[in-house]
Structure 1
Amino acid sequence: MELTTVWFALIAVLWAGYFLLEGFDFGVGMLLPVLARDNRERRLLINTIGPVWDGNEVWLLVAGGATFAAFPEWYATLFSGFYLPLLLILVALILRGVAFEYRGKRDDDTWRKRWDACIIGGSLVPAILWGVAFGNIVRGVRLDANHEYVGSFFDLLNPYALLGGLTTLTLFLLHGAVFLALKTGGEMRERAGRLAERLAPAAILIAGGFLAWTASTHHDVAGWLLFAAAALALAGAALATRARREGWAFLATGATLVIAVAGLFVTLFPDVMPSSIAAANSLTVDNAASTPYTLKVMTWVAVAFTPIVLAYQGWTYWVFRKRLTIERIPV
C-alpha cells in the first residue's frame, strides 16, 4: 500500500476520533441550558467533561497538522477556500476553552452566565459548521485548474452541506445526552436519558437522510455498506437508550460517528477535494501529497508516538471513569 493511501486513512482515523470524543463534549456544552436548572447542575455537567475536553481537542490539532504535512496542497486549498467558516470554528473553540477556565473565577451569576453562553455558542457553532465543511468536501467545490477555490462563501451553504450540518448537530446532541446519562447519577441521569430518547428519532431521520443522499450520489459499494452499518448502529443506540442501557447506547452513538466518518472518507477516495467544475481539477491523494521521503519520516514518527498518546488518553478516561452526582458539587 502506498504511503499516500496510508496517510489518507490515518487522517480519516484522526477525524473519526475527533468526532467520537469531541462530539460528546459539544453535546454537553449545547445541553447546558436544556438539562441544567441552576448553577450547581451546570457545574455538574461541565465537570463531566472537565478532565478530558482539552485532550479531546488534540485530535483536531493532530488531524490539521497531519493534513498540512502529508497533503499540503489539500491543506492550502481547504483553509483558503473555507477561510470564513474555519475562522468561525476557531473563534468558537477559543471562546469555549477560555470559558471553561474562567467561569469559576468569580462568584457572580452574571459573570458565570456570560461564560456559559460562550460554552454553549462555542459548542453549537463547530457542531454545525464541521458538518457543513465535510458536506462540501464530499459533494465537491468550485476548484479551478490551479486547484484554487473560486466559489463564494454562500456556495458553501448549499442544501446538501446544510443537511450535513444538521446531521452533526443532532448526532452530537444525542451523543452528549447519552454521555451524560452514562456519566451522571440520580435525577440528572434520568433527565439525560429521557432527553436522549427524544433526540434519537430526530437523529435517525436527519442522519439517515444525509447518508442516503450521499449514497445515492456516490456509487461506491464500500461506502454504501459503511453507511448501512452506521444506520444500524444509530438504530441500536435508540433501542439501548429506550432500555436505559447507557453503556451500550454510548458505544452505539460512538460507532455511528466513527463508521459514518469512515464511509465519507471511503466515498471520497482517491480524491481529497473533488472539483465541481471539472474532474481534472480535483485534488487527489497523489497530486496533493508531500514527497515520499516526507511521508516516510512522518510514518516512523507516528509509529513511535501514537501508542504513547493513546495510552495516556486511555489512562485519563480510566482515572475519571466514575459517575458524578449533584451531592458532590459544593453549594
Structure 2
Amino acid sequence: MELHDVWFVLIAVLWTGYFFLEGFDFGVGVLTGLLARDRTEKRVLINTIGPVWDGNEVWLLSAGGATFAAFPEWYATLFSGFYLPLLLILVCLIVRGVAFEYRAKRPEENWQRNWETAIFWTSLIPAFLWGVAFGNIVHGVKIDKSFEYVGTLGDLFNPYAILGGLVTLSLFTFHGTVFVGLKTVGDIRERARGLSLQVGPVAAVLALVFLSWTQVDNGDGRSLTAMIVAVVALVAALVAARAGREGWAFALSGLTIVAAVAMLFLTLFPNVMPSSLNEDWSLTVTNASSSPYTLKIMTWCAGIATPIVLLYQGWTYWVFRKRIGTHHIAADISH
C-alpha cells in the first residue's frame, strides 16, 4: 500500500472518530432544546459533555490539518468550493464554544437563556451541514480540468446532499439521546430513552434510503458490507435502548456512525473528490497528494502523537464517567 493510500485511510479514521465523538456532542446540544423541561435540566445536559466537548474537536483539527498536509489539492478545492457552508460551520463551532464558557458567567436569566439558545442552534446547524458537505464529496461536484470547483452555492444543496444532512442530524440526535441515557439519572434519563425510541426509527429510515442511494451509485461488496453493519447496528441500538441497556445502545449507535462513515469513504476511494463534469477531472489519492517525503515525515509524527492523544482523551472520559442528575446542580447556577 502506497503512503497516499495509508493517509487516505488515516484521514477516514480521523473523520470517523470526529463524527463518533462530536456526534453525541452535537446531539446533546440539540437535546437542550428538545428534551430539557427547565433550566436545571439544560444544565444537566450541558454538564454531561462539559468536560469532553473541546477534546472531541481535536479530531476535527487533526482531520483538517492532515488533509491540508497530505492532500493539498483536495484541501484547496474543498475549502474554496465549500467556502460558505464550511465558514458557517466554523462560526457555529466558535459561538458554541463561547456559549459553553460564558453561559454561567452572569446570573441574569436572559443572559443564560440566550447562550442556551445559541448552544441549540450551533449544534443543530453543523450536524446538518456536515452531512451536506460529505454528501457532495461522495456524490461528486462540478470540478473542472484545473481541479477547481465551478458550481454555485445552490448546487451544493441538491437532494442527495440534503438527505445526507438529515441523516447526520437525526443520527447525531439519536446518538445524543442514548448518551444522555448513559450519563444521567432520574426522570431525564427515562425521557431520554423514550425520545431515543422516537428519533431512532426516523434516523433508521433516512439512513437506509441514503446509504442505499450511495450503494447504487458507487458501491461494491465492501461498501455493501459496511452498509449492512450500519443498518443492523442501528436496529440493535434501538432494541438495546428499549430494554434500558444504555451502554449497549450507545456502543451500537456509535458503531452505526462508524460503519456509515466507513461506507462513504469506501465508495469514495480512490477518489477524494469526484468531478460530476468529467471523471478524468476528479481528484484522486494520486493526483491530490503531497510528495512521498512529506507523507513519510507525517507518518512518523502521527505515530508518535496519536497514542498520546488517545491516552489523554481516554483518561478524560474515565475520570468523568459517573452519571449526573438534577440533584447535582447547585441552586445558584440552575436559573
Question: What is the CA distance between 1:218 and its match in structure 2?
Answer: 1.1
- Paired residue total: 331
Question: What is the CA distance between 1:219 and its match in structure 2?
Answer: 3.4
Amino acid aligned to 2:258? V
**Which residue of 2 is the match for residue 130 of structure 1?**
130
SS at match of 1:104: helix
Tell me if 1:171 matches 2:171.
yes
**Which residue of 2 is the match for residue 162 of structure 1?**
162
Question: What is the CA distance between 1:206 and its match in structure 2?
Answer: 0.6
**Which residue of 2 is the match for residue 142 of structure 1?**
142
Tell me if 1:321 matches 2:321.
yes
SS at match of 2:105: coil
Question: What is the CA distance between 1:115 and its match in structure 2?
Answer: 0.5
**Which residue of 2 is the match for residue 228 of structure 1?**
228
SS at match of 1:37: coil
Preserved CA contact (<8 Å) 2:80 2:149 = yes
**Structure 2 matches for 1:62-141, cutoff 5 A?**
62-141=62-141
In the alignment, the residues of structure 1 paired with residue 328 and residue 172 of structure 2 have an alpha-carbon distance, to the nearest angstrom, of 27
**Structure 2 matches for 1:251-290, cutoff 5 A?**
251-290=251-290
Question: What is the CA distance between 1:221 and its match in structure 2?
Answer: 1.3
**Which residue of 2 is the match for residue 293 of structure 1?**
293
SS at match of 1:287: coil
Question: What is the CA distance between 1:171 and its match in structure 2?
Answer: 0.1
SS at match of 2:324: coil
**Structure 2 matches for 1:138-217, cutoff 5 A?**
138-217=138-217
Amino acid aligned to 2:251? L
Amino acid aligned to 1:239? V
**Structure 2 matches for 1:17-96, cutoff 5 A?**
17-96=17-96
CA distances 1:44-86 after superposition (whole Å, capped 9, x unpaired): 1100000000000010000000000000000000000000100
In the alignment, the residues of structure 2 paired with residue 158 and residue 328 of structure 1 have an alpha-carbon distance, to the nearest angstrom, of 46
Preserved CA contact (<8 Å) 2:33 2:117 = no
SS at match of 2:125: helix
SS at match of 2:290: coil
In the alignment, the residues of structure 1 paired with residue 28 and residue 20 of structure 2 have an alpha-carbon distance, to the nearest angstrom, of 13
In the alignment, the residues of structure 2 paired with residue 279 and residue 33 of structure 1 have an alpha-carbon distance, to the nearest angstrom, of 44
RMSD after superposition: 0.6
**Unpaired segments of 5 or more residues in structure 1?**
none
SS at match of 1:31: helix
Amino acid aligned to 1:4? H
Question: What is the CA distance between 1:263 and its match in structure 2?
Answer: 0.8
**Which residue of 2 is the match for residue 10 of structure 1?**
10
**Unpaired segments of 5 or more residues in structure 2?**
none
Question: What is the CA distance between 1:38 and its match in structure 2?
Answer: 1.5
SS at match of 1:272: strand
Amino acid aligned to 2:191? R
SS at match of 2:104: coil
Amino acid aligned to 1:51? P
In the alignment, the residues of structure 2 paired with residue 189 and residue 39 of structure 1 have an alpha-carbon distance, to the nearest angstrom, of 16
Question: What is the CA distance between 1:240 and its match in structure 2?
Answer: 0.7
SS at match of 1:276: coil
CA distances 1:270-318 after superposition (whole Å, capped 9, x unpaired): 0000000000000000000000000000000001110011011000000
Question: What is the CA distance between 1:36 and its match in structure 2?
Answer: 1.2
In the alignment, the residues of structure 2 paired with residue 321 and residue 48 of structure 1 have an alpha-carbon distance, to the nearest angstrom, of 9
CA distances 1:236-280 after superposition (whole Å, capped 9, x unpaired): 111111111100000000000011111100110000000000000
Amino acid aligned to 2:121? G
**Structure 2 matches for 1:238-257, cutoff 5 A?**
238-257=238-257
TM-score (norm 2): 0.98
Amino acid aligned to 1:41? E
SS at match of 1:149: coil
In the alignment, the residues of structure 2 paired with residue 265 and residue 148 of structure 1 have an alpha-carbon distance, to the nearest angstrom, of 21
Amino acid aligned to 1:202? V
In the alignment, the residues of structure 1 paired with residue 57 and residue 124 of structure 2 have an alpha-carbon distance, to the nearest angstrom, of 15
SS at match of 2:57: helix
Question: What is the CA distance between 1:34 and its match in structure 2?
Answer: 1.6
In the alignment, the residues of structure 2 paired with residue 83 and residue 247 of structure 1 have an alpha-carbon distance, to the nearest angstrom, of 38
